[in-house]
Structure 1
């Protein structure tokens, strides 16, 4: 929200409050002032001057020699190259010795001296708006109104010492998206009187209305309009209005458009002016229909559907409701008859509609936050008065359709509750004073906790719905600076910790310790990512996405991580290792509403990581090789320590069919690990396959309690066991069979370790001369046996090894190698 201080002070003028103090008060009241700056940079000795005569320069076709009256008592000769210079106009004139702002940022100020242009003396310079840094217009001189006093300082005449405020508003403060709204706040903060422009009904000289039907009460709650005939659309917008618009960041277009924009900034009321002669029949306010199209004022042709509100006539759509008018009924300089409209659009019917078409408008920005529904008629009178005053014409009666207005439910605020929240003592009189200054109607009654204020929110305050909203209003107007900063008073209590669980923070540190860097991605992702990496053809869609491509909720973290890998690779990063801890979203009808749950949706926390490029940073001690499945599998195993994770083959849409595994802990699947599918390597333009994992955070947090185990003082026995099995046999199945055999034979307590340390597969051309068949492989296991009570005897060790071999022979038709 941008506006000039002089415009604000025309509504409310706290004379003893300086610009800096006003800025500070607004910021402390929740209306953050981002910037305050002068309308124009410093300059001096520039005055209003009249061009008395011009003649062509004798030595240059594009220059004129002008005789100028600058109020100095003598006529000045000034050479000027502006195309619009002519006798009789009033323009800014920089006298000799004047200092103009630098032409470029960081440049030096420009001093005017007596000069000679193509042999003709020049005693000053006639200025454009760009040379004074008032705008970027450099097509000619800045022509001033005829009543400008010759010789007056231009800063004084144009009020160039005025200040421009830029305010950053939070979404709940829609009532301050106007000069009137900000002035209400200033009046409440300072106690100065608020002066609102007169909205006296204009004289009605026409007995004509336009037929209007509101077919969608859930779209439009109130629709007001009037016919005005005989306007002069070519009339010049008054200089004071152009000045206020420009200092609010709006450029002047035409008188009718300027008046509509002016009242929007002044009162917060977006309105629309239709060319009456281009409307076919009457207007129907309704929801759009699939297949309908409209060409908007910005030149875009869009297609609407049943989710978008429109204003249509008997032939076509004329306007996108509450957002932008259509090109077919736009006013032009030839417009003579108009239809003026002001309406209340339900915020939820406007929210997100402009964004789905990739643009935004000032009207949509206001309507989706809530605009006063009680003053449409008064604001039409204000706009009409300005139109008749500037453009002339005859006005018909206001046609007001009230169909569905919001109900303003009273909000209760307990004085005791306000004191507890704010941490200060508040008297009922102080609270009453705050509500009176804010023009909030209230009553007082006694409740169980003491005195209670019952406030009825006004029609322009859509942000007052619960008790905390009123407490916030009390704090703002009472003054945050008056609330002392006190340390909290609380008992210092040592609470027990659950040693069997670790926190999310500890898990994140554990992943980072494995050489991964954390990233944070949006929870909403591209629809394509869900199809590619989760085979999800029916993702959870957003009703109001922040961007068209981020339209669905993620069910996996893989897409975001892969996107960040590509981002880094595009910036010449050769080795990328990233992880994310975040929530994913699945449909689940068994989930009910709760404090942290939403009915029908399961939202588990996941931990995912991705590794791309070399396994290690380049160094002399380790040969460079790409990261592989077993590197990341080792990372996953370390994250679960001291719990033991198991791995079994899995089919996953994002992972390589033969290089992916499901992760199981205590027999329960908790995630996946594997290499990216070759299809996605080509699709996402990756030179080599990254390896990734995705695990449930809850499973990583459960580490269990530490358990004591006795350390044996007797020597351990190590035996190697090499067996030949079919290539389809899984090593984990062999390990499980051997451990089960040891337990069944009573040797399980002696087994300290059982690991696979070698695998051998013969080459196809060497299989004939080898004892291992072409469809066979050799697996070598190392078993460590140790007793805590005595030294193991050879017979015991041999029996343990024999029972393992017998189990492998029986289950897998294995044979000892060699």
Structure 2
């Protein structure tokens, strides 16, 4: 919401010298998000005056049309003689009043004006366009003023070119601040000044003879006001002050009738709609659309309506989407503009207008605007909640302006349809804000602050607060407490640091997650957390089967994006999207990781209860909340592509592959004190021949699967748009942590005794996993074995078909003595014997 300071002063008598920065500071202290204060016309210097074009000479021989003009600027140039100016615009004629800046003046952007020779003539100044004056982005032609303005008049004051505009980011709960009325109320309260409410005007009650209206959906529209103005001068144009105010709030002036409805909307906060009465066909109605009905809106798009859309109708059918946008058939027409049916009579200009001011259900308007992807200034206000009591005042304000500026006559008939409704009240203890804020305000302060926001307060210790009609967000005692706290100043709340009990710090799970993050970062991975949202397309791209558990998702009631309406069941979707985006931007050597929650629907989970906010929930309430939540295991995942080891003067590099992804899983498991067991597997989205399943041994000796890793399937890399041979892995950290329960990280042991190294090459069947051979060697070698490493895998005719050779380096060391050759050889032989027994291995000759 853009708020010109000059307009704001009309409702709040700010002290002389109060700048936009002062108002910004006060409003921020009161809880509004004032993002910037724009200095409109900053650097503008005169002489900038009204001039009248006397002559126009068309200059020939140039690539574009050029005119040499003489302009009467009165005594502004010191001589009274016509000013000679070269101009390239074509939208003015002899006799028009224009804006002229003379030599010595400065336009916004430090554009200094001087007499200079151009196109063979000397130009003594410039005829200005709206963009050059900082009035808007229109650069198609210069500004042509109404003829009543006197030559030589100062144009800076006339066009209100110098001003300050506050840009406020209005949060959804403060929809009343989408108007000058609402911001003025906050400003008056912040400065302790009286408010001149623009909605407090004399409004006639319902009178017979008003335009007929029938509301059949009272839940969608509980108030509807209709007023009629006739005898309008269709050639009347919006005065400069009205155009400038609309331009400063970000609206483009269109025509007088439309400008007036927009002006009242920004002034009072009540959107209006104006109908050409000659184009209406009978009674105006408000109802839900019939499925399949069609409406061409003011933007020229034919829209197929939904059964939940609230529409404005006449006897011909829908003529507008209620609270969103009107229909093209009944729009206001300027003189000479053809009507919707193409008839010249309809294009003669609108002279009879019906003003609509209504209050619509916010949820219905929000859903319609989103359904048709048709947000508007009106829907933005309706979906946040407008003041139902302001409809009559807004309609009257529009009628008054049409009578004043367009010479119209207000018909005496007034249509007013209102569903009876009791004022909303909230019961609250007088000391409730004190208990919420942890300080003492006292009843007098609480009552005063609530009255300042428009509440009517009765009661002593227990207050009955009648909330104002323009504050639909005030429904509970804590809402009222927040109002008191923000007006008293958040900066005045006492600051107390919590006192944690001694001896407490990070939990074991938190320490493990930090160790894992440091270990992966040390291995060359970059952490790349992603949003936890996913769509069907991403799961399809992973090649998941229809019955894959990862396709069972938790769907959000109000997703940020319709393309990602669910919570993720795997970390790979976000990581691979990040990898694709970075690869597309030229970073081809990538190794990314993330640790985070995934979400799985819980069987039998019901609707979560609403916990209280005035006390700690009971254990039963907390248990009910947890029971309604989805399962949220924590996972770790990596993706990598490109070069794992870059090439250079030190030698050739090495591309990333499936083995790197598996090593990343081992890195994660080692931090939890778990040794992974690897088995070949087939699991989407991995290549069936380059996929490993990871298992860990739980405390009871059983093996549990903790994840998968390997190279992505070619179909998956193509569907996702990531490089071929991209590798990935994902593990369940909760299961790994459970398997490694009780593990405490310790530093390496440094022995004073030497190591004895023995190499062994074993021949086994090609389908025997190397992990089984390794486990047998460890078991047979006993406690003297310090480490074991597979350093070579060989296949070939020398060892026979269907066989492979696995070469291991075994390191033996004793903690209390130096091993003899016989000790090392005995341990080696025992390891070979156990491997032969378990895997049918033979020693390679």
TM-score (norm 1): 0.84
| Whole-Å separation in 2 of the counterparts to 1:396 and 1:249 | 34
Instruction: Tell me if the contact between 2:714 and 2:725 (Cα under 8 Å) persists in the aligned partners.
Output: yes
Q: Does 1:728 align with 2:767?
A: yes
Larger deviation, residues 499-508 vs 29-38: 499-508
2:595: which partner in 1?
A: 581
Instruction: Tell me if the contact between 2:425 and 2:464 (Cα under 8 Å) persists in the aligned partners.
Output: no
1:260-271 equivalent positions in 2, closer than 5 A: 260-271=261-272
1:517: which partner in 2?
A: 526
Instruction: Tell me if the contact between 2:213 and 2:415 (Cα under 8 Å) persists in the aligned partners.
Output: no
The one of 725, 743, 747 equivalent to 1:705 is 743
1:194: which partner in 2?
A: 195
| Whole-Å separation in 1 of the counterparts to 2:565 and 2:23 | 42
1:682: which partner in 2?
A: 718
| Whole-Å separation in 2 of the counterparts to 1:454 and 1:140 | 60
2:113: which partner in 1?
A: 110
Structure 1 residue 783 displacement after superposition: 6.3
2:364: which partner in 1?
A: 349
1:449: which partner in 2?
A: none
Alpha carbons of 1:723 and 1:71: their partners in 2 closer, same or farther (altered >3 Å)? closer
Instruction: Tell me if the contact between 1:519 and 1:578 (Cα under 8 Å) persists in the aligned partners.
Output: yes
The one of 483, 494, 507 equivalent to 1:473 is 483
1:427: which partner in 2?
A: 442
Q: Does 1:670 align with 2:675?
A: no
1:410: which partner in 2?
A: 426
Instruction: Tell me if the contact between 2:788 and 2:811 (Cα under 8 Å) persists in the aligned partners.
Output: yes
Larger deviation, residues 437-446 vs 712-721: 712-721
Structure 1 residue 307 displacement after superposition: 5.1
Instruction: Tell me if the contact between 1:293 and 1:302 (Cα under 8 Å) persists in the aligned partners.
Output: yes
Instruction: Tell me if the contact between 1:49 and 1:70 (Cα under 8 Å) persists in the aligned partners.
Output: no
1:523-562 equivalent positions in 2, closer than 5 A: 523-533=532-542, 534-535=544-545, 539-562=553-576
- 1:495-523 Cα distance to aligned partner (Å, 9 max, x none): 26655762534432232222111123222
Alpha carbons of 1:784 and 1:576: their partners in 2 closer, same or farther (altered >3 Å)? closer
Query: 1:34 is paired with a residue of what secondary structure?
Result: strand
1:688-767 equivalent positions in 2, closer than 5 A: 688-699=724-735, 703=740, 704-706=742-744, 723-735=762-774, 756-762=790-796, 766=797
1:7: which partner in 2?
A: 7
| Whole-Å separation in 1 of the counterparts to 2:207 and 2:9 | 35
TM-score (norm 2): 0.82
- 1:305-349 Cα distance to aligned partner (Å, 9 max, x none): 345444445554433332222333332223344443233233333
Structure 1 residue 756 displacement after superposition: 4.8
Query: 1:76 is paired with a residue of what secondary structure?
Result: coil
| Whole-Å separation in 1 of the counterparts to 2:795 and 2:192 | 90
Instruction: Tell me if the contact between 1:216 and 1:287 (Cα under 8 Å) persists in the aligned partners.
Output: no
1:314-329 equivalent positions in 2, closer than 5 A: 315-329=316-330
| Whole-Å separation in 2 of the counterparts to 1:652 and 1:282 | 65
- 1:220-269 Cα distance to aligned partner (Å, 9 max, x none): 44344345555444431232211211111111111221111111100111
Larger deviation, residues 664-673 vs 705-714: 705-714
| Whole-Å separation in 2 of the counterparts to 1:443 and 1:503 | 57
1:72-111 equivalent positions in 2, closer than 5 A: 75-80=80-85, 81=87, 83=90, 89-95=96-102, 97-101=103-107, 105=109, 108-111=111-114
1:776-795 equivalent positions in 2, closer than 5 A: 776-780=803-807
Q: CA RMSD in A?
A: 3.9
Q: Does 1:381 align with 2:390?
A: no
1:459: which partner in 2?
A: 469
Alpha carbons of 1:163 and 1:721: their partners in 2 closer, same or farther (altered >3 Å)? closer
- 1:450-498 Cα distance to aligned partner (Å, 9 max, x none): xx544333221133334443333223322345x2775536366332665
Instruction: Tell me if the contact between 2:134 and 2:161 (Cα under 8 Å) persists in the aligned partners.
Output: no
Query: 2:472 is paired with a residue of what secondary structure?
Result: coil
| Whole-Å separation in 2 of the counterparts to 1:32 and 1:716 | 68
Alpha carbons of 1:761 and 1:541: their partners in 2 closer, same or farther (altered >3 Å)? same
Structure 1 residue 85 displacement after superposition: 5.0
Structure 1 residue 628 displacement after superposition: 1.4
1:68-467 equivalent positions in 2, closer than 5 A: 68-70=73-75, 75-80=80-85, 81=87, 83=90, 89-95=96-102, 97-101=103-107, 105=109, 108-112=111-115, 126-138=127-139, 140-197=141-198, 198-201=200-203, 207-215=209-217, 217=219, 219-229=220-230, 231-280=232-281, 282-288=283-289, 290-306=291-307, 308-313=309-314, 315-333=316-334, 334-351=349-366, 353-355=368-370, 357-391=372-406, 392-395=408-411, 397-403=413-419, 408-410=424-426, 412=428, 414-415=430-431, 418-419=433-434, 421-446=436-461, 453-467=463-477
Structure 1 residue 410 displacement after superposition: 0.5
Query: 2:328 is paired with a residue of what secondary structure?
Result: coil
Alpha carbons of 1:541 and 1:148: their partners in 2 closer, same or farther (altered >3 Å)? same
| Whole-Å separation in 2 of the counterparts to 1:599 and 1:491 | 30
Instruction: Tell me if the contact between 2:425 and 2:467 (Cα under 8 Å) persists in the aligned partners.
Output: yes
| Whole-Å separation in 2 of the counterparts to 1:123 and 1:603 | 74
| Whole-Å separation in 2 of the counterparts to 1:69 and 1:634 | 86
Structure 1 residue 404 displacement after superposition: 8.7
2:617: which partner in 1?
A: none
Alpha carbons of 1:776 and 1:118: their partners in 2 closer, same or farther (altered >3 Å)? closer
Instruction: Tell me if the contact between 1:210 and 1:226 (Cα under 8 Å) persists in the aligned partners.
Output: no
2:680: which partner in 1?
A: 649
| Whole-Å separation in 2 of the counterparts to 1:194 and 1:633 | 69
Instruction: Tell me if the contact between 1:322 and 1:364 (Cα under 8 Å) persists in the aligned partners.
Output: yes
Alpha carbons of 1:301 and 1:189: their partners in 2 closer, same or farther (altered >3 Å)? same
Instruction: Tell me if the contact between 2:399 and 2:410 (Cα under 8 Å) persists in the aligned partners.
Output: no
Query: 2:388 is paired with a residue of what secondary structure?
Result: coil
Q: Does 1:567 align with 2:594?
A: no
Alpha carbons of 1:500 and 1:122: their partners in 2 closer, same or farther (altered >3 Å)? closer
- 1:5-37 Cα distance to aligned partner (Å, 9 max, x none): 121111111225611322321222222333323
Alpha carbons of 1:361 and 1:154: their partners in 2 closer, same or farther (altered >3 Å)? same
Query: 1:10 is paired with a residue of what secondary structure?
Result: coil
| Whole-Å separation in 1 of the counterparts to 2:682 and 2:464 | 62
Structure 1 residue 570 displacement after superposition: 2.0
- 1:642-662 Cα distance to aligned partner (Å, 9 max, x none): 211222333332211121222
Q: How many residues are aligned here? A: 788
Instruction: Tell me if the contact between 1:645 and 1:663 (Cα under 8 Å) persists in the aligned partners.
Output: yes
| Whole-Å separation in 1 of the counterparts to 2:685 and 2:301 | 39
1:638: which partner in 2?
A: 667
| Whole-Å separation in 2 of the counterparts to 1:314 and 1:718 | 97
Query: 1:637 is paired with a residue of what secondary structure?
Result: helix
Query: 2:678 is paired with a residue of what secondary structure?
Result: strand
Larger deviation, residues 632-641 vs 704-713: 704-713
Q: Does 1:614 align with 2:650?
A: no
Structure 1 residue 294 displacement after superposition: 3.4
Alpha carbons of 1:514 and 1:368: their partners in 2 closer, same or farther (altered >3 Å)? farther
Alpha carbons of 1:511 and 1:460: their partners in 2 closer, same or farther (altered >3 Å)? farther
Larger deviation, residues 375-384 vs 204-213: 204-213
Query: 1:351 is paired with a residue of what secondary structure?
Result: helix
Instruction: Tell me if the contact between 1:613 and 1:688 (Cα under 8 Å) persists in the aligned partners.
Output: no
Alpha carbons of 1:605 and 1:457: their partners in 2 closer, same or farther (altered >3 Å)? farther
| Whole-Å separation in 2 of the counterparts to 1:530 and 1:312 | 44
| Whole-Å separation in 2 of the counterparts to 1:98 and 1:64 | 19
Alpha carbons of 1:430 and 1:274: their partners in 2 closer, same or farther (altered >3 Å)? same
Instruction: Tell me if the contact between 2:647 and 2:654 (Cα under 8 Å) persists in the aligned partners.
Output: no
| Whole-Å separation in 2 of the counterparts to 1:56 and 1:497 | 83
Larger deviation, residues 13-22 vs 535-544: 535-544
Instruction: Tell me if the contact between 2:98 and 2:145 (Cα under 8 Å) persists in the aligned partners.
Output: yes
2:614: which partner in 1?
A: none
| Whole-Å separation in 2 of the counterparts to 1:600 and 1:485 | 35
